[in-house]
Structure 1
């Protein structure tokens, strides 16, 4: 099980995920999905590289690489200069960006649907990726998740994941070339996604 309190550290890969509060859906319309990704690009893309993602009605998954310390220090230089506390403060700033993402999205969601209260579980959850085999199967697991949870029968039918971007030539913020090379090319990437996950990624959300 992931440790949701574990700090985000520079130069590390993470499986990042969260779930709606209770039985709450966090995405009710196509516009919700697009807005969440827009806010993700605002708050997370400057501090992390994205290897895969999937957004589903009541939860989401990302495979992210938190950028190296020098790039993060440059990005946060104004905030660090005001309160220079070294590495611990940098880790706090990273976590704050994830909190800002969820808070900004929840605020807009609540306003749109005239609801009150917490939309997400109390803290974004994460698991540090230390094993190459885990990383390989995590990419597949993330893309296969809508099938696993019964939202679609074929992963090609789910619009709100990064899977289609890896098979496209359109410009993307994803680490597409790195991921395709990892799998041995586009054809091998596609073949790898044709079977059910063999690694148990069942997690408590």
Structure 2
């Protein structure tokens, strides 16, 4: 069901959702790739038939499809086994809600057909947080890209990383987030030009991760967090 909330063009939002009953929603590489592809091809005002779109094209070709009329700009994304995070800004009126409706519907249909199941895949309507300050935007950008760290070291936030270099390599090479697009300066799913310059400025990979960790720690220390992300 499409939620009855107004999202303002040019403002920034953290969008997230998890599987119903915290179930796994990405069980293999094909699932992750499918959702990532949907992030790209569904970002349009056109009403596409995914089955027709996929026919006769390989995975890499689909990412070359031009989107002349995107309805949102994606600043960051991260897919985890049972949930996902997106940093979005709507480009047209109603764009964010329309995009999320198309995204969750298309992926749910794919997942249910593949796994021969019925019913809701996600835990209700997607959740949203309005990022009303630069500090909050930096925090969420960092939070999204640091999310995979808990797969490598589940207590890193509480006790600090066991091995910072190893954790850095894991995060910067995590296949199912937008960190690779920033690392390679190659925007495919993301649209960095629609977001403040400061969220993507770094000189080295080591500095990039340290900056993200610092932004996350500084925001937590100041105790100005709004809400509790997944």
TM-score range (shorter-chain normalised) is: 0.7 to 0.9
Is 1:135 aligned to residue 137 of structure 2? yes
* 1:52 partner SS: strand
Q: Give the corresponding residue for 1:109.
A: 111
More displaced 10-residue stretch of structure 1: 109-118 or 193-202: 193-202
Partner deviation per Cα, 1:88-141 (whole Å, 9 max, x = no partner)? xx43x6423311210111111111111121100121111111111000111111
Normalised to the residue count of structure 1, the TM-score between the two structures is: 0.75
Report deviation, 1:195.
5.0
8 Å Cα contact 1:17-1:62 kept in structure 2:
yes
Alignment of 1:65-104 (within 5 A): 65-67=89-91, 72=92, 90-91=93-94, 94-104=96-106
Report deviation, 1:9.
2.4
8 Å Cα contact 1:61-1:142 kept in structure 2:
yes
Query: For structure 2, which runs of at least 5 residues remain unmatched after alignment?
Result: 45-69, 154-166
8 Å Cα contact 1:13-1:130 kept in structure 2:
yes
Q: Give the corresponding residue for 1:84.
A: none
Measured in 2, the distance between the counterparts of 1:138 and 1:30 equals 25
More displaced 10-residue stretch of structure 1: 5-14 or 51-60: 5-14
Measured in 2, the distance between the counterparts of 1:181 and 1:204 equals 24
Is 1:189 aligned to residue 192 of structure 2? no
* 2:22 partner SS: coil
Q: CA RMSD in A?
A: 2.6
Measured in 2, the distance between the counterparts of 1:132 and 1:171 equals 22
Query: For structure 1, which runs of at least 5 residues remain unmatched after alignment?
Result: 73-89
Q: Give the corresponding residue for 2:37.
A: 38
| CA spacing shift, 1:60–1:191, aligned 2, 3 Å | same
Measured in 2, the distance between the counterparts of 1:193 and 1:204 equals 17
